[in-house]
Chain A
């Protein structure tokens, strides 16, 4: 095989790698693309002209991960807030699954001719079935944005926390008797998670992180 054939094969392989590396963030590529290309070409099989499926998948996964969750030094308060918000999403999901698992209790209450209890239960179950999926989505979205250092996410988090507090107060004022101790405890846990994560993202250390990120972006 002549030198020329080898270099044209290598050029073709390199173009293939470059196309896939486009899925990495621009700033990362500017700093690392040449180096990664060298490693990719060093580890390629002799005579290889196409990017293999497994290595393409590995590269794409890394690029998507880096775009969704860029590596950066996050203060402990921000990391803790993200963990609490993920716990909030998990708690909402648990509430949803509990309601789905106990759907039969309304039927049982109806069968026992306790229509008041059946009505209260039904209202609660519908509220959770509609509200919980939305709440899970909101918690996850905010956890993601808070971790990335988006300053607007702090304001949205406060707004969501205030709305949640109002709805808890409203529901309690209306019909406290209708609630099982379990759902009262669940609501309290979720509310405390919300309060603690909002407190964490407004600590001075977190504030410096969000100001720094605003300058970087």
Chain B
């Protein structure tokens, strides 16, 4: 899974977000490192919707413009949990090898 995709799913993990909300959430989650652009965001949202990982929660009109809120589907939650566990296991293994003294410590 690409990092942008992972971060978009993460941004939706604890509630619904609209497009601009996802961009600000992703920036915050990544500590300011990942600044999603609109083209990247909407190509990813289009693909995630086709794959059934996210869905449209509701639509609002704000200042004459459509605002669409997205949410994770059960499939999306499962895929994100699986990917997070995989990354976590890899990161733990890397840290354990880098710091053998800390093995079994504050993991």
Residues on A close to B: CB < 8 A? 28, 32, 34-40, 42-43, 54-55, 58-63, 65-66, 71-73
Give the complex CA separation of A66 and B66 in angstroms. Answer: 22
Q: B46 to chain A: which residues have CB within 8 Å?
A: 28, 32, 66, 71
B51 and A59 form a contact (CB under 8 A): no
Closest 8 A-B residue pairs measured CB to CB?
Answer: A62-B39, A71-B50, A58-B39, A59-B39, A62-B43, A58-B37, A38-B65, A71-B47
Give the complex CA separation of A28 and B52 in angstroms. Answer: 17
B50 and A73 form a contact (CB under 8 A): yes
B40 and A36 form a contact (CB under 8 A): no
Give the complex CA separation of A54 and B38 in angstroms. Answer: 11
Q: Which residues of chain B from 75 to 106 have any CB-CB distance to chain A below 8 Å in the complex?
A: none
Given A35-B66, A71-B51, residue A61 in contact with residue B20 (CB < 8 A) = no
A34 and B65 form a contact (CB under 8 A): yes
B65 and A43 form a contact (CB under 8 A): no
Q: A65 to chain B: which residues have CB within 8 Å?
A: 43
Report which of B20, B39, B47, B66 forms a contact with A42, defined as CB distance below 8 A: B20
Report which of B38, B51, B68 forms a contact with A40, defined as CB distance below 8 A: B38
The answer to the question of B13 belonging to the interface, with a C-beta cut-off of 8 Å to chain A, is no
Which of A32, A35, A65 has the most chain B CB atoms closer than 10 A to its own CB? A35
A62 and B42 form a contact (CB under 8 A): yes
Given A71-B51, A72-B50, residue A66 in contact with residue B65 (CB < 8 A) = no
Give the complex CA separation of A54 and B23 in angstroms. Answer: 16
Contact indicator per residue, chain B 54-73, by CB within 8 Å of chain A (1) or not (0): 00000000100111100000
B39 and A39 form a contact (CB under 8 A): no
Give the complex CA separation of A66 and B47 in angstroms. Answer: 9
A38 and B39 form a contact (CB under 8 A): no
A66 and B67 form a contact (CB under 8 A): no
Contact indicator per residue, chain B 13-43, by CB within 8 Å of chain A (1) or not (0): 0000001100100000000000001111111
Beyond contacts A62-B39, A71-B51: 7 other A-B pairs, Cβ-Cβ < 8 A, are A37-B65, A42-B20, A62-B40, A63-B39, A65-B43, A66-B46, A73-B51
Q: B37 to chain A: which residues have CB within 8 Å?
A: 43, 54-55, 58-59
11 contacts between A and B (CB under 8 A): A35-B19, A36-B19, A38-B66, A39-B42, A43-B20, A58-B37, A60-B39, A66-B43, A71-B43, A71-B50, A73-B52
